[in-house]
Amino acid sequence: MKNFIAFIAIITFVTSVSAENWRDPESRFNATAKRDKSTITWQLTDNVQKTCEAESRRRGLGGFGFGVDACSFWDGDSCIIITGRTTTLHEIGHEMRHCFQGNYH
């Protein structure tokens, strides 16, 4: 039993250390797993949730089911980022990373 608890503790620690915190704008990540280029379109909207939900459904993805502050959709080397008319560097940067790395979280 002692060995089992130690094993679980080690696995939990390794997993938590290796898993990045995508909500932390200062979190480091492996940038080698990416597309080399992407054509990015930035769409501004007054209602991010409504626009992101509509775009998700239009693409057959079924919507989000949770609140979003921004979103992105990519297809090959083409990507669209949707944000509000005012946004943060973290929001646009987070979505731009999706354009290059896809669904990383």
Q: What is the mean pLDDT of each run of 10 residues along the chain (105 residues)?
A: 44 40 71 81 97 95 93 91 95 91 76
**For residues 88 and 62, what is the distance between their CA atoms, to the nearest angstrom?**
26
The residue ranges of DSSP E strands in 13-95, in sequence order, are: 39-45, 70-75, 78-84
All residues at 6 or more sequence positions from 33 whose CB lies less than 8 Å from its CB, including other chains: 101
Confidence (pTM): 0.72
How far, in Å, CA of 86 to CA of 27, rounded? 23
**Looking only at Cα atoms, what is the longest distance across the chain?**
56
